[in-house]
Amino acid sequence: MSRASVGKLAARIVLTLLCANPALAEKKYDPGASDTEIKIGQTMPYSGPASAYSASGKAEAAYFQKINAEGGVNGRKIKLISLDDSYSPPKTVEQTRRLVEQDEVLLIFGSLGTPTNTSIHKYLNAKKVPQLFINTADMKWGDPQHFPWTMALYPNQRTVTTLFASYLIKSRPDAKIAVLYQSDDYGKDYLKAFKEALGPRASKMIVAEASYEVSDPVIDSQIISLKSTGADTLLDLSTAKFTAQAIRKAYDIDWHPLHFILYGSTSIPAVLRPAGLDKSVGLISGAFLKDPNDPQWMDDPAAKEWLAWMKKYYADGDIAELYNVWSTTIILAGRRRLSWPVT
């Protein structure tokens, strides 16, 4: 058969298929997408023990206002449905099922928390609903072979714990390390990553471990217990509320270890002010975003643009709050993804 004959046959087949099923010739979108709108969902701890992070959801809603005012994404407006899950995995499951099955969102975007995202991990992948740029650093998210619909944004737990371990091995090889961690995947996986980073030194350098439950009202007893071990270093793998308590309690009982805290707990409004700025001197952490409180960014073009957005669209927000910075980072990364053809 000649090339011309093959071409004519292929054309007839395509024409036949289109005539047999007119829908193939029409635009077709996934649930949550249309010519004018992209509907996305998320869960946030607007209440409960991790409510300090609720600023993240509020800032994202405000930034989507800016995007929509400027024409949206490829002419489509973004509709964000952000629901409270109280940082409770069972409630996260309930709210996420509502978003997917009732609200029919295109994707889950920026939902916060390791235990909460873990609770919906398999469900969203089974449904083939993108779990995109989730607000958690756990190592489990980087598994495209088994969970191709899940993608995190931030550096994972191994990144920061390796930096902490390297610093200690180099600067304080004889450190006696006490570890405070949250008794769920969030804290346990951070501790696991830190031990892996220390390698054979871990059994010698880590002298004590203490955990807490998210439902605990205070962690005073854990801090007192860790001090009693004679540790001179505190690796604090806690969430914001408990980091503030740890800083304050350690100071109040006259324990002044070399105190490492996670980046998510460096918020001035949510952590350091409640703990006491005078009690927060000397803390060590890591960072991967431009801190609005750091004078070095005063004349930075991107920082100025961010401040202009805050004043216009989120005037009630605290410019000292780093959660307002990382929320815009998630959206800017997501906007590039949403700029791809929606099918």
Sign of CA dihedral 80, 85, 90, 94: negative
Q: Are 172 and 125 found together in one domain?
A: no
Closest CA relative to residue 135, chosen from 212, 55, 64? 55
**In a domain? residue 200:** yes
pLDDT band of 107, cuts 50, 70, 90: very high
Instruction: Give mean pLDDT, residues 181-207.
Output: 97
DSSP per position, 264-285 = GG--IIIIIHHH-GGGSTT-B-
**In a domain? residue 137:** yes
**In a domain? residue 312:** no
DSSP per position, 73-98 = BTTBEEEEEEEE-TT-HHHHHHHHHI
Instruction: Give mean pLDDT, residues 283-296.
Output: 90
Q: How many helices (H) and strands (E) does the chain have?
A: 12, 9
Mean pLDDT value across the chain? 89
Higher pLDDT pick, 53 / 288:
53
Higher pLDDT pick, 6 / 80:
80
Instruction: Give mean pLDDT, residues 175-196.
Output: 97
Query: Minimum mean pLDDT among 209-218, 233-242, 300-309: which range?
Result: 300-309
pLDDT value of position 335? 52
Q: Are 173 and 217 found together in one domain?
A: yes
- The boundaries of the domain holding residue 274 are 157-279
pLDDT band of 20, cuts 50, 70, 90: very low
Helix ranges, 233-321 (H): 240-252, 273-275, 301-313
Instruction: Give mean pLDDT, residues 188-210.
Output: 98
Question: CA triplet 282, 286, 289: central angle to 5 degrees?
Answer: 125
Q: Are 123 and 227 found together in one domain?
A: no
pLDDT value of position 163? 96
Query: Minimum mean pLDDT among 42-46, 84-88, 336-340: which range?
Result: 336-340
pLDDT band of 9, cuts 50, 70, 90: very low
Instruction: Give mean pLDDT, residues 106-110.
Output: 96
Instruction: Give mean pLDDT, residues 81-99.
Output: 98
Q: Are 144 and 172 found together in one domain?
A: no
Residue 292 vs residues 132, 243, 283, 325: alpha-carbon distances, Å: 26, 21, 18, 8
Q: Are 70 and 182 found together in one domain?
A: no
Report whether 41 contacts 108 (CB < 8 A): yes
Q: Are 61 and 128 found together in one domain?
A: yes
Q: Are 150 and 163 found together in one domain?
A: no
Closest CA relative to residue 259, chosen from 218, 227, 219? 227
pLDDT value of position 22? 45
pLDDT tens digits along 119-165: 999 999 999 999 999 999 999 998 999 999 999 988 899 999 999 99
CATH of the domain at 109: 3.40.50.2300
pLDDT value of position 289? 86
Count structural domains, the chain: 2
**In a domain? residue 240:** yes
pLDDT band of 333, cuts 50, 70, 90: low
- For residue 64, give both structure tokens: 């989507």
- For residue 81, give both structure tokens: 């449905």
Determine what percent of the chain is predicted with pLDDT higher than 90.
79
Sign of CA dihedral 45, 138, 216, 270: negative
**In a domain? residue 302:** no
For tokens 């371990």, what's the residue?
A: 165
Q: Are 231 and 265 found together in one domain?
A: yes
Higher pLDDT pick, 239 / 287:
239
Q: Are 143 and 41 found together in one domain?
A: yes
Report whether 125 contacts 147 (CB < 8 A): yes
Q: Are 197 and 248 found together in one domain?
A: yes
Higher pLDDT pick, 328 / 68:
68
Nearest-angstrom CA–CA distance, 171 and 157: 21
pLDDT value of position 334? 54
**In a domain? residue 81:** yes
Higher pLDDT pick, 301 / 245:
245
Q: Are 162 and 274 found together in one domain?
A: yes
pLDDT value of position 17? 35
Instruction: Give mean pLDDT, residues 101-122.
Output: 97
pLDDT tens digits along 252-284: 999 999 999 999 999 999 999 999 999 999 999
pLDDT band of 27, cuts 50, 70, 90: confident
Instruction: Give mean pLDDT, residues 77-90.
Output: 97
**In a domain? residue 294:** no
Determine what percent of the chain is predicted with pLDDT higher than 70.
89
pLDDT band of 23, cuts 50, 70, 90: very low
Q: Are 146 and 237 found together in one domain?
A: no
**In a domain? residue 78:** yes
- For residue 17, give both structure tokens: 């298929």
Report whether 95 contacts 28 (CB < 8 A): no
pLDDT value of position 6? 33
